[in-house]
Amino acid sequence: MLVNIRPAFVIARREVRDQLRDWRIIFPVLGLTIFFPFLMNITAKMAENFVSQYGASIIADRMIPFLLMIVGFFPISVSLVIALETFVGEKERGSIEPLLNTPLKDWQLYLGKLLAAIVPPLLSSFLGMAVYILGLRLQHLNLPELPLLFQIFTITIVQAVLMVSGAVVVSSQATSVRAANLLASFIIIPIALLIQAESVVMFWGNYQTLWLVVFGLLILTILFIRVGLAHFQREELLGREIDVLNFRWGWSVFKRSFLGDARNIKVWYLRVLPGTIQKMGKPAVVMAILLGIAVYLGTLQVNTLPPQIFKTNRGLIDSNLQDLIHAWPLFSIAPVLAIWWQNVRVLLLSLVLGLFSFGVLGVMPSMATFAILGYLTSMFAGTGIPVSHYLLGFIVPHGLVEIPAVILAGAAVIRMGAILATPTPNRTIAEVWIACLADWFKVMLGAVIPMLLVAAAIEAWITPRIALLLFR
């Protein structure tokens, strides 16, 4: 193993040495590791003095770890520039081909570049944090507690690896440094939002939540590294020359994936769609398990968030159901469309979230819905109403169609992430991405949307009437 990893270290060592000889990298890093932490120390001291006058020392208490996080983050931002350069910069300078001609394995080259982009900024980040902590000591300000310090260091590492791994993916797939810099917005904007979210959590003081953030980021980081390795191809690196958005090519890839070999809708329904649905088997199992977990977590929440407004009152349920049946007469279209659109909207949101997170966040909207389901089930159980009545009266009739549809749609999003993280030697990352999108559309248009329409009709016309029978 060590012998195999050695070439990666050789690559990393060369690159780090090269960086250390570049004043355009050294000066900003030195500034951010020596000057900036002192500035933050002064800010922390001034803030403490100011807020103490008004007895709001808690703000200073929260600000000190927050500033530590910021001090750690700033040098990492330099890593983005280095990481974006790794492959595409060498390609532009013509130095990548001699490297590709050596017996290096793809993963060794990729890992070497990744290490080279991570290690120096991370070390400077630690140095900056150390300077900041030293400054706090000298100013007799309270240091954050050890677990919190550990947490901030962990966040810094994970954030650095996440940013760099994302940027290296961009660099290995971009056609020019210019294109890579433009694509960097897809990293900078989410990271900026993440920092803001982390800031809120830190001022809120809910440090337990920060661990969840770390965990989520860690998963994303692993996926980014996996995607980068899976789609790193020597051929692609040298083959792509032009930065042109080729809609015609994109459309033809989409069309080919969507239609398969079908020449008419019958063949598409009988052969192409079942083939795609078959591919959703494993992701569907994963999705079903995740929804089960969501239900379970939802049931647990009754203890932490006890219901305040609901009391066992069969008469109230009965009258509410009467009102509902009155509002939704049999065969009225409006409620069906409203329910259907609501469900489709949730699944569209899943797609959007899934696209930017390798499917990870794509399961969240459905999981949240199922967690509420679990919560309500548990709540009914606590109020003496039989759970079976609640399930049979409110969930099962339309759920028999709706739940499989949700699982199928979720599976298409999970599969998208899984395939992106799988090596596809003869296809580019763009081709894979478009083909996955085509599969999602296939599943949605061919199965999920019609199923949701049927489920919405049952939910509007049949479910309330069954519930009324049970709760009368």
CB of 18 to other proteins, least distance (A): 5
C-beta closer to other proteins: residue 101 or 303:
101
Closer Cβ to other proteins, 108 or 366, answer by number: 108
Complex with other proteins: residue 22 or 145, whichever CB lies closer: 22
Q: How far apart are CA 416 and CA 413, in angstroms?
A: 5
> CB of 270: closest distance to other proteins in angstroms?
31
For residues 58 and 63, give the distance between their C-alpha atoms in angstroms, rounded to a whole number: 8
Residue 10 or 381: which CB sits closer to other proteins? 10
Q: Least CB distance from residue 105 to other proteins, whole Å? A: 7
What dihedral angle (degrees, nearest 10) is formed by the CA atoms of 201, 205, 207, 212?
-30
Supply the minimum distance, in Å, between the C-beta of residue 77 and other proteins.
23
Contact residues for other proteins (CB under 8 A)? 7, 10-11, 14, 17-18, 21-22, 90, 93-105, 234-235, 238-239, 249, 425
> Which is closer to other proteins, CB of 96 or CB of 272?
96
**Closest separation in Å from C-beta 26 to other proteins:** 12
Least separation in angstroms between CB 234 and other proteins: 5
Q: Which is nearer to other proteins, 112 or 128 (CB)?
A: 112
Nearer to other proteins, 14 or 472 (CB): 14
Q: In angstroms, what is the minimal distance from the CB of 90 to other proteins?
A: 8
Task: Give the largest Cα separation in the chain, rounded.
Answer: 81
